[in-house]
């Protein structure tokens, strides 16, 4: 099937120094409905093509400043797919061969046979559009493959969406592409954006009560692709026009991203400089992209759920179920990690072991439920004291607790121990079966070291335990230091 020639969008560049021929060619091309630009020599033609690449070039061979053969070679270097039709009085075989060697795709001699010229131009444009459509199709497939590959290799949704908007803007040669995320209240925000630097960024902006909510628009809620080619001639509501003006948009293309029968968000393409007639291939591309994007969103949400579940499990594995402070496992991990870090930094590490005095008597007197409440209260006090980043209060086992104090020397550890003892005394927790007081008391053992390879965390625990034993031996309700 022969492709339809896109008459109104076809740009023809005429390059000829003969003004009469130039005017004749222009009249003939405009009569066919093509848009026409003219240049009097090869250099002027190159300057035009630097800014606006035509669909076809009608190029004379013999011209001043830069002849057609040199111009043809440079145009071909600028874009190997450009269609160049040489029109010249030269009809020798060498000239014909040279024209094709430098990149011309066809050759006509003067005087011009106008019917033949029109047919040649039409045939070349048909070939041109076939190649353009094929190239665009390949680029589309490459983009979808790239996004799909990104999904397979990355769980970062923002990274996947960012790649999508960047590549879509590049392929469609448009001014702005965004992904808009809906919130439960109908508002939403721009989650990712690719925008030409000359336009304001909308990244992170939150929009409420606009056409992006269900108050002013309806089409994408019906899962339709929403196409606007000119905002001033589309019969839009005032809130819609206001937002598009804020987005500096003259035309846009909106594709809903549907997830589990709900609109998760929108993939939106904006043309900011002028109205734009969107091609079916543009719409097809965005529609095609929604499927891998939905896959990416589902994958990311599942990953987030899994991460949250893993974090919850990790938390449960490291938290003492009774006192809700870190358990022995968490204590061992933190002590090992801080030991290695402070060994590198050659900084002190202190450990305080705490034991509730006569806790067995407390349980026997008040019962195990009261004993559990007592453990919770002591854990709460220790957690409140260990507030510096890196400090850890943990349940060590039974009625015993531990405080890991990184970057803390003996003087600092003594200060913490005195705060703990003072704090527990102010609580006036009754303990009538204690042999040293009518109130609950603690015994504490302190050990400090600058970690080094010849020792280990076990050494520090053993020294703190020795100090705790001495605190108990010398009367309890006190701290002792391992010297």
DSSP character for 439?
Answer: B
Tally of domains within the chain: 3
d(CA 232, CA 352): 74
Helix, coil or strand: residue 352: strand
Paired tokens of 76: 């071909």
Residue 217 lies in domain: 154-303
Q: What share of the chain is helix, strand, coil (3-state, %, to 5)?
A: 50, 20, 30
Q: 354 and 441 in one domain? A: yes
Q: 178 and 114 in one domain? A: no
At 8 the pLDDT is 52
At 214 the pLDDT is 47
Paired tokens of 69: 């053969």
Under the banding of pLDDT at 50, 70 and 90, the label for residue 1 is: very low
- The answer to whether residue 323 is domain-embedded is no
Burial of 104 (0-12, 13-18, 19+ CB in 10 A): buried
Taking every pair of Cα atoms in the chain, the longest distance, rounded to a whole number of angstroms, is 124
**What is the share, in percent, of the chain residues with pLDDT greater than 70?**
93
d(CA 400, CA 442): 10
Q: 333 and 475 in one domain? A: yes
At 367 the pLDDT is 94
d(CA 398, CA 87): 99
83: CATH = 3.40.50.2300
Q: 233 and 128 in one domain? A: no
End-to-end CA distance of the chain: 95
- The answer to whether residue 378 is domain-embedded is yes
Last residue of a domain, one of 234, 268, 303: 303
Q: 425 and 370 in one domain? A: yes
Q: For residue 305, count other CB atoms closer than 10 A to its CB.
A: 10
Q: 25 and 112 in one domain? A: yes
DSSP character for 221?
Answer: G
396: CATH = 3.30.70.270
Of all helices (H) and strands (E), which one includes residue 298?
Answer: helix 280-318
DSSP string computed for 60-114: ESS-SSS-HHHHHHHHHHH-TT-EEEEEES--SHHHHHHHHHTT-SEEEESSP-H
pTM, rounded to two decimals: 0.50
d(CA 107, CA 73): 15
Phi first, then psi, for residue 263 (nearest 5°) are -85, 110
- The answer to whether residue 141 is domain-embedded is no
- The answer to whether residue 347 is domain-embedded is yes
Contact 107, 69 (CB under 8 A): no
Q: Which one of 167, 271, 338, 399 is the catalytic residue?
A: 399
pLDDT tens digits for range 378-419: 999 999 999 888 899 999 999 999 999 999 999 999 999 999
197: CATH = 3.30.450.40
Q: 177 and 120 in one domain? A: no
Report, as an integer, the average pLDDT of 197-213.
73
479-481/442-449 β-pairing: parallel
Is a pLDDT exceeding 80 seen at residue 212? no
d(CA 124, CA 417): 90
Q: 228 and 128 in one domain? A: no
Is a pLDDT exceeding 90 seen at residue 354? yes
pLDDT tens digits for range 260-275: 777 888 889 999 988 9
Residue 205 — left, alpha, or beta (φ > 0 → left; ψ -120 to 50 → alpha)? beta
Which is nearest to 413 in space by CA: 442, 385, 435? 385
d(CA 341, CA 249): 55
Rounded to 10 degrees, the C-alpha dihedral 293/298/304/309 comes to -170
- The answer to whether residue 22 is domain-embedded is yes
- The answer to whether residue 451 is domain-embedded is yes
DSSP string computed for 166-222: HHHHHHHT-SEEEEEEE-TTS-EEEEEEEE-TTS---TT-EE-SSTTSTTT--TGGG
Q: 54 and 195 in one domain? A: no
Q: 174 and 119 in one domain? A: no
At 5 the pLDDT is 46
- The answer to whether residue 128 is domain-embedded is yes
pLDDT tens digits for range 287-339: 877 877 887 788 877 777 888 788 777 777 889 989 999 999 999 999 999 99
Last residue of a domain, one of 83, 102, 133: 133
Mean pLDDT, all residues of the chain: 86
- Range with the poorest average pLDDT among 171-180, 209-218, 309-318: 209-218
Q: 279 and 188 in one domain? A: yes
399 is catalytic: yes
Q: 167 and 56 in one domain? A: no
- The answer to whether residue 144 is domain-embedded is no
d(CA 36, CA 403): 83
pLDDT tens digits for range 71-123: 999 988 888 888 888 888 887 888 888 888 988 888 888 888 888 888 888 88
Report, as an integer, the average pLDDT of 40-55.
87
Report, as an integer, the average pLDDT of 56-78.
88
């Amino acid at each position: 099937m022969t492709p339809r020639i896109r008459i109104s969008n076809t740009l023809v560049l005429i390059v000829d120094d003969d003004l009469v021929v130039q005017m004749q060619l222009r009249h003939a091309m405009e009569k066919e409905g093509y848009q026409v630009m003219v240049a009097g020599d090869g250099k002027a033609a190159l300057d035009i093509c630097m800014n606006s690449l035509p669909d076809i070039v009608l190029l004379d061979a013999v011209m001043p400043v830069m002849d057609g053969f040199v111009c043809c070679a440079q145009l071909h270097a600028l874009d190997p797919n450009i269609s160049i039709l040489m029109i010249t009085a030269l009809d020798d075989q060498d000239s014909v061969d040279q024209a094709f060697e430098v990149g011309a795709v066809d050759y006509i001699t003067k005087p011009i046979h106008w019917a033949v010229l029109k047919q040649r131009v039409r045939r070349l444009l048909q070939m041109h559009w076939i190649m353009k459509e094929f190239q665009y199709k390949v680029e589309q497939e490459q983009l979808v493959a790239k996004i799909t590959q990104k999904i397979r290799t990355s769980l970062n949704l923002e990274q996947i969406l960012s790649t999508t908007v960047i590549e879509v803007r590049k392929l469609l040669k448009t001014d702005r592409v965004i992904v808009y995320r809906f919130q439960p209240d109908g508002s939403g925000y721009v989650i990712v954006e690719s925008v030409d630097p000359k336009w304001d960024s909308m990244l992170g902006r939150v929009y409420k009560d606009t056409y992006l909510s269900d108050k002013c628009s309806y089409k994408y809620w019906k899962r339709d692709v929403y196409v606007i080619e000119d905002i001033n001639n589309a019969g839009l509501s005032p809130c819609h026009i206001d937002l598009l003006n804020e987005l500096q948009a003259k035309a846009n293309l909106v594709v809903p991203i549907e997830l589990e029968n709900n609109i998760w968000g929108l993939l939106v393409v904006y043309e900011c400089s002028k109205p734009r007639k969107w091609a079916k291939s543009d719409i097809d591309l965005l529609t095609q992209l929604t499927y891998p994007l939905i896959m990416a969103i589902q994958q990311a949400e599942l990953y987030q759920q899994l991460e949250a579940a893993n974090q919850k499990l990790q938390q449960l594995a490291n938290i003492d179920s009774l006192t809700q402070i870190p358990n022995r496992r968490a204590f061992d991990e933190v002590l090992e990690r801080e030991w290695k870090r402070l060994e590198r930094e050659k900084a002190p590490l202190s450990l305080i072991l705490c034991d509730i005095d006569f806790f067995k008597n407390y349980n026997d007197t008040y019962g195990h439920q009261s004993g559990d409440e007592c453990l919770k209260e002591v854990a709460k006090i220790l957690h409140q004291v260990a507030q510096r980043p890196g400090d850890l209060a943990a349940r060590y086992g039974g009625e015993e607790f531990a405080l890991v104090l990184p970057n803390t020397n003996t003087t600092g550890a003594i200060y913490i121990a005195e705060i703990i003892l003072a704090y527990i005394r102010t609580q006036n927790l009754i303990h009538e079966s204690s042999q040293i007081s009518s109130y609950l008391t603690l015994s504490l053992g302190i050990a400090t070291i600058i970690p080094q390879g010849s020792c280990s965390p076990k050494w520090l625990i053993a020294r703190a335990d020795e100090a705790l034993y001495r605190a108990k031996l010398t009367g309890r309700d006190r701290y002792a230091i391992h010297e």
